[in-house]
Amino acid sequence: MIQVLVNGVFLGCLFAVVAVGLTLVYGVMEVPNFAHAGVIVLAAYATWSASAAGLPFALAALVGIACGAAVSVLTEVVAYRWIIDNPAAAPAVALGLMLILQNTALRLFGGEGRSMDTPYDQVLVEFGGVSLSGVKVALVVLAVLALTALHLILSRTSLGRAMRAVAQDRGAAAMLGIPMRRQYTLAFLIAGLLAGIAAVAYAPTFQVSPYMADEVLLSAFVVVVVGGLGSVWGAVAGGLVLGVVEGLGSAYLSSAYQSAFGFLLLVLILVLKPGGLRGATGRRVA
């Protein structure tokens, strides 16, 4: 039972890191960033290529994270920047970008999955009768570190204050002289870094392939919906809840239908909150 819960927490950390990236971008720009999946895929491939080229794993991981950040910022500069005044076009542009990024990966690296080796592959951490592979421990540690860092940035620095201001009211923030363009780019930069961390952390447990992020992205979107679009702590809490639900479902009912349990949770929440989720869109970033 505890083992199952721990596995659920592992999944939850993964969902939370991806979901926070989505919700940050949504908070400042109101874009449902489907292209996030493509960013994760490219970051994972960058790590894989760098480590195949002989770089030590830690360096390769940094290459991957940097690549995620670069690609994410690129999507903002090339596409999203031009639709700020037309939010209705956002889903379409996001879908277009996702097609482009995923198929770029398919074109460059082929469709077959590749396994990523890490120095902590063989490590098995045992703690109070619960065993967890080194890869999963690394993911949980990375997730906690990344989210804590993000929280500190958002709550303690002037940069974070500006970002929260933009998320609360774009018009007022612009009037007060906050440079909007920089905030947009910054949100995508942070989202890209988080995508890179997610990719490096979970690619070793799955395979690196152009479609590796599809299911994670879907679950992360559910997390965002459950936690409220634009709310970072909602995303963290939602991620843990969803991870535990999917972990329990796949352990006790059927592992083939793992993500279906997340869907059931979503349906349940929608049915139990008959007013819809409008209440959750009080747009906040922290």
Partner 1 sequence: MRKHASALGSSALLSVLAYLALTGLQGDQGQVALLVVVWTIALTGLNVILGLGGYPSMAHAAFFGGGAYLSAILLEKGLSMTVAAVVSVAAIMLVGFLVALVFSRTRGQYFAIGTMFFTAVAFLVFTNAAEFTGGPTGRPVDLGYSLDATVVLLAVSVGAGLAVFHLISVSRFGDRLRAIREDEDLAQHLGVPTARVKLLAVVVSAGFAAWAGVLFGQYNGVIAPSQFTFVQSFLMFVALGLGGAGRLLAPVVGALVVIGLTQLLNLGPGVSQIVLGVLFIAVTLLAPNGILGGITALTRKVRRKEAVA
Q: How far is the CB of 91 from partner 1 (least distance, A)?
A: 6
Q: How far is the CB of 159 from partner 1 (least distance, A)?
A: 27
Q: Rule CB under 8 A: is residue 106 a binding residue for partner 1?
A: yes
Residues 185-224 that bind partner 1 (CB under 8 A): 210, 214-215, 218, 221-222, 224
Q: Rule CB under 8 A: is residue 1 a binding residue for partner 1?
A: no
Q: How many CB atoms lie within 10 A of CB 165?
A: 18
Q: Rule CB under 8 A: is residue 142 a binding residue for partner 1?
A: no
Give the span between the Cα atoms of 16 and 181, in whole angstroms: 26
Q: Which of 2, 58, 99, 123 binds partner 1 (CB under 8 A)?
A: 99
Give the span between the Cα atoms of 2 and 228, in whole angstroms: 29
Give the span between the Cα atoms of 76 and 140, in whole angstroms: 29
Residues 22-51 that bind partner 1 (CB under 8 A): 32
Q: Rule CB under 8 A: is residue 271 a binding residue for partner 1?
A: yes
Q: Which of 84, 96, 151, 248 binds partner 1 (CB under 8 A)?
A: 96
CA angle 78, 211, 50 (to 5 degrees): 75
Give the residue from 117, 100, 274 showing the smallest Cα distance to 200.
117
Closer of 110 and 119 to partner 1 (Cβ): 110
Q: List Cβ<8 Å contacts ≥24 apart for 156-164.
A: 159/186, 160/286, 163/24, 163/27, 163/28, 163/187, 163/285, 164/284, 164/285, 164/286
Binding mask 55-94 for partner 1 (x = CB under 8 A): ------------------------x--xx--x-xxxxxx-
Contact 20, 144 (CB under 8 A): no
Element (H, E) at 125: strand 124-127
Q: Point out which span in 118-126, 164-172, 176-184, 260-268 binds partner 1 (CB under 8 A).
A: 260-268
Q: Rule CB under 8 A: is residue 274 a binding residue for partner 1?
A: yes
SS3 category, 179: coil
Residues of this chain that bind partner 1 (CB under 8 A): 32, 79, 82-83, 86, 88-93, 95-100, 102-104, 106-107, 110-111, 210, 214-215, 218, 221-222, 224-225, 229, 254, 256-257, 259-260, 262-263, 266-267, 270-271, 274-278
